[in-house]
């Protein structure tokens, strides 16, 4: 009897040990992340929202990609050649590309994807404007013939941030670009989207795609070999910042994408937790105005908003720590090749009394102004609160409408009047790759309701200048054109820059290694310690 009890005890111990081993193995194969926002919209062509872009990087792949220095390299492309006259680009896909359903990636898929992306993205629109034809040579090769040489083709097809030209199966890419691609989401990237486990407001799950063949080069930002070292990645949405911080400190998650700045010291002081800075450029904060609704359909009212801005106040509210921010009137960022202060005087010199006078000249008479307030992204929430205070100081009859960021990214696409539930102003921010020149920076577009980003500024002059920049090959002339674009965009008030700031992420340094440097959070190359 004692022998039997001993055997049963041993078996129980072995079973417990095996269970513990299995649990440990499973834990080691699962990466748990607190994302910066809830994922509600899944189509990275339909929206520029960064949470949707990040979801895109998990699922999809690109023909070309940028490394951490913003240099462009082939990604899905195996080779790329250009004719002597600069008009014909031939792209051949690399071997081993598969969709998540097991079918092969074809050149027809890529052409359909480029066409769809190009109808929504600022650089894509400029590219399609000079495309004569795109046709398949065979299943693995296609040609893009231009009407004139355009030196930004690979830069456009390899752009790192929104809208990223992700490749999709043709049947998905044929979806109207102003409607979301339907489920299931099928890409050719390192992870598969697990639709059955997606719980909006709580959880997103990805599984490693066994059929993905990484490039052989070392990973650098979005370029190089995308090696998925975890069998499963879980995004766990925790809107309360303190709760997210405690989940990281307690070891319930591995990575906290966007802690607010007043938590940095607490995170750095915690055992086995480390904060990291993604890049040296950071983000530019924007105040975006709806040009379709009064009073901001009048340029004088938009100039009034510029004059309300005090960047120092915004940056203190967003970041607080002076060594993490700088005032900057350059739409293409400070310390970049196209930095300019052209037209920035109103943005950099606050004058509330003059703003009041301009509002009166614009015919404003106390009508309700709607400011959308994203409560779950601290930087944008704090910026919105500053704007609310400034608008009220100027005598604006303000209604602040609170919502989460994912709701806002849907709401901002609506061209409704205020009476019908429309909006006037919201805040957002953009990282360096989205801003570096007049073509990449969609915020300076004057393409109106057909081509401009949400807010829909219309100005033929700024579009003419942007097109001239895209076609120009002389660096000195490009700089002149960039100055002119900014001066005109500031005059039209396509958006109001509120400063430049750095942000940090936090992670379990006892568990993770291999975090890639770059402005976009990328979850390949990471591995368990």
Regarding whether 449 and 314 lie in a shared domain, the answer is yes
Q: Is residue 5 part of a domain?
A: no
* H-state helical runs in 71-191: 107-118, 122-128, 153-157, 170-173
Closest by CA to 308, choosing from 390, 371, 396, is 390
**67-71, 104-108, 136-140, 185-189 — which is least confidently predicted?**
67-71
Q: Is residue 356 part of a domain?
A: yes
Q: Which residue has the tokens 């990645």?
A: 233
What is the pLDDT, as a whole number, of residue 473? 85
Do residues 76 and 99 lie in contact, with contact meaning Cβ atoms separated by under 8 Å? Answer: no
Give me the mean pLDDT over the 323-335 stretch.
Answer: 96
Number of domains in the chain: 2
Angle at 155 between CA 44 and CA 56, to 5 degrees: 20
Q: Is 363 left (phi over 0), alpha (psi -120 to 50) or beta?
A: left
Regarding whether 342 and 203 lie in a shared domain, the answer is no
Q: Is residue 464 part of a domain?
A: yes
What is the pLDDT, as a whole number, of residue 292? 98
What is the pLDDT, as a whole number, of residue 149? 92
Regarding whether 492 and 354 lie in a shared domain, the answer is yes
CATH code for the domain in which residue 151 is found: 3.40.190.10
* pLDDT of 437 over the 70 cut: yes
* pLDDT of 381 over the 70 cut: yes
Q: Is residue 24 part of a domain?
A: no
Helix (H, G, I), strand (E, B) or coil at 326: strand
Closest by CA to 107, choosing from 157, 56, 142, 150, is 142
Task: Provide the residue range defining the domain that includes 288.
Answer: 283-501
Percent of the chain with pLDDT over 90: 93
CA distances from 149 to 88, 92, 461 (A): 9, 20, 22
Give me the mean pLDDT over the 37-66 stretch.
Answer: 97
> How far is residue 408's CA from residue 384's CA, in Å, rounded to a whole number?
13
Regarding whether 521 and 392 lie in a shared domain, the answer is no
Regarding whether 198 and 138 lie in a shared domain, the answer is yes
What is the pLDDT, as a whole number, of residue 13? 38
DSSP 197: G
Regarding whether 65 and 142 lie in a shared domain, the answer is yes
> How far is residue 160's CA from residue 516's CA, in Å, rounded to a whole number?
14
CA distances from 215 to 141, 357, 514 (A): 18, 59, 17
* pLDDT of 99 over the 60 cut: yes
Q: Is residue 9 part of a domain?
A: no
Regarding whether 298 and 270 lie in a shared domain, the answer is no
Give me the mean pLDDT over the 158-173 stretch.
Answer: 97
Instruction: Tell me the pLDDT tens digit for each residue of 457-471.
Output: 999 999 999 999 998
Instruction: Tell me the pLDDT tens digit for each residue of 477-528.
Output: 999 999 999 999 999 999 999 999 999 999 999 999 999 999 999 999 999 9
Burial 316-346 (b: 16+ CB within 10 A, else e): bbbbeeeebbbbbbbbbbbeeebbbbbbbeb
What is the pLDDT, as a whole number, of residue 18? 35
Do residues 371 and 391 lie in contact, with contact meaning Cβ atoms separated by under 8 Å? Answer: yes
Do residues 208 and 193 lie in contact, with contact meaning Cβ atoms separated by under 8 Å? Answer: no
- Residues contacting residue 488 through CB under 8 Å, at least 6 positions apart: 343, 446, 459, 461, 462, 465
Regarding whether 319 and 274 lie in a shared domain, the answer is no
In this structure, what token pair is assigned to residue 163? 């809208």
Q: Is residue 428 part of a domain?
A: yes
Give me the mean pLDDT over the 42-52 stretch.
Answer: 97
* φ, ψ for residue 341, nearest 5 deg: -105, 10
Regarding whether 238 and 196 lie in a shared domain, the answer is yes
What is the pLDDT, as a whole number, of residue 24? 35
What is the pLDDT, as a whole number, of residue 352? 98
Confidence class of residue 288 from pLDDT cuts 50, 70 and 90? very high
Q: Is residue 326 part of a domain?
A: yes
Regarding whether 289 and 227 lie in a shared domain, the answer is no
What is the pLDDT, as a whole number, of residue 25? 34
Regarding whether 213 and 291 lie in a shared domain, the answer is no
* pLDDT of 19 over the 80 cut: no
Instruction: Tell me the pLDDT tens digit for each residue of 212-228.
Output: 999 999 999 999 999 99
> How far is residue 193's CA from residue 205's CA, in Å, rounded to a whole number?
6
Regarding whether 145 and 71 lie in a shared domain, the answer is yes
* pLDDT of 161 over the 70 cut: yes
Most distant CA atoms of the chain, gap in Å: 98
Query: What is the average pLDDT value for the chain, to the nearest integer?
Result: 94
Q: Is residue 22 part of a domain?
A: no
- Residues contacting residue 307 through CB under 8 Å, at least 6 positions apart: 346, 349, 350, 351, 352, 354, 355, 358
């Amino acid at each position: 009897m004692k022998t039997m009890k001993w055997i049963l005890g041993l078996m129980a111990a072995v079973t417990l040990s095996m269970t513990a081993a299995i649990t440990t193995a499973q834990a080691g194969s699962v990466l748990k992340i607190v994302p910066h926002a809830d994922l509600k919209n899944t189509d990275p062509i339909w929206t520029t929202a960064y949470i949707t872009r990040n979801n895109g990087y998990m699922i999809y792949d690109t023909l070309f990609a940028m490394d951490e220095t913003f240099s462009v390299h082939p990604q899905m492309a195996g080779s790329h050649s250009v004719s002597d006259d600069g008009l014909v680009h031939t792209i051949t896909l690399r071997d081993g590309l598969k969709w998540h359903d097991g079918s092969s990636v074809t050149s027809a898929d890529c052409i359909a994807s480029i066409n769809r992306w190009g109808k929504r993205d600022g650089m894509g629109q400029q590219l399609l404007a000079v495309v004569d034809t795109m046709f398949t040579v065979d299943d693995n090769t296609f040609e893009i013939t231009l009407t004139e040489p355009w030196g930004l083709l690979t830069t456009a097809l390899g752009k790192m941030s929104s809208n990223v030209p992700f490749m999709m199966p043709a049947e998905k890419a044929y979806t109207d670009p102003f409607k979301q691609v339907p489920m299931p989401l099928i890409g050719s990237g390192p992870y598969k989207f697990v639709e059955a486990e997606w719980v909006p407001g709580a959880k997103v799950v990805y599984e490693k795609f066994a059929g993905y063949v990484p490039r052989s080069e070392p990973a650098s930002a979005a370029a190089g070999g995308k090696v998925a070292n975890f069998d499963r990645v879980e995004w766990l949405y925790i809107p309360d910042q303190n709760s997210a911080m405690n989940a990281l400190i307690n070891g319930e998650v591995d990575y906290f994408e966007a802690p607010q700045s007043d938590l940095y010291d607490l995170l750095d002081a915690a055992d086995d937790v480390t904060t990291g800075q993604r890049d040296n450029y950071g983000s530019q904060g924007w105040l975006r105005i709806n040009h379709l609704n009064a009073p901001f359909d009048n340029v004088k009212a938009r100039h009034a908003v510029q004059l309300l801005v005090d960047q120092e106040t915004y940056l203190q509210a967003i970041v607080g720590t002076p060594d993490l921010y700088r005032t900057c009137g350059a739409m293409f960022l400070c310390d970049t090749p196209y930095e300019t202060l052209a037209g920035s005087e109103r943005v950099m010199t606050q004058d509330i009394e003059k703003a009041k006078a301009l509002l009166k000249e614009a015919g404003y008479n106390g009508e309700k102004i709607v400011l959308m307030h994203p409560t779950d992204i601290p930087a944008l929430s704090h910026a919105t609160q500053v704007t609310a205070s400034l608008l009220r100081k100027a005598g604006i009859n303000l209604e602040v409408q609170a919502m989460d960021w994912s709701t806002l990214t849907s709401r901002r696409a609506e061209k409704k009047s205020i009476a019908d539930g429309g909006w006037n102003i919201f805040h957002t921010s953009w990282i360096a790759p989205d801003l570096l020149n007049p073509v990449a920076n969609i915020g300076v577009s004057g393409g109106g309701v057909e081509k401009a980003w949400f807010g829909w500024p219309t100005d033929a002059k700024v579009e003419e200048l942007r097109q001239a920049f895209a076609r120009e090959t002389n660096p000195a002339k490009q700089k002149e054109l960039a100055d002119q674009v900014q001066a005109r965009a500031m005059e039209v008030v396509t958006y109001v820059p509120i400063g430049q700031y750095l942000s940090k992420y936090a992670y379990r340094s006892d568990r993770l290694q291999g975090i890639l440097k770059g402005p976009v959070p990328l979850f390949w190359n990471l591995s368990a310690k």
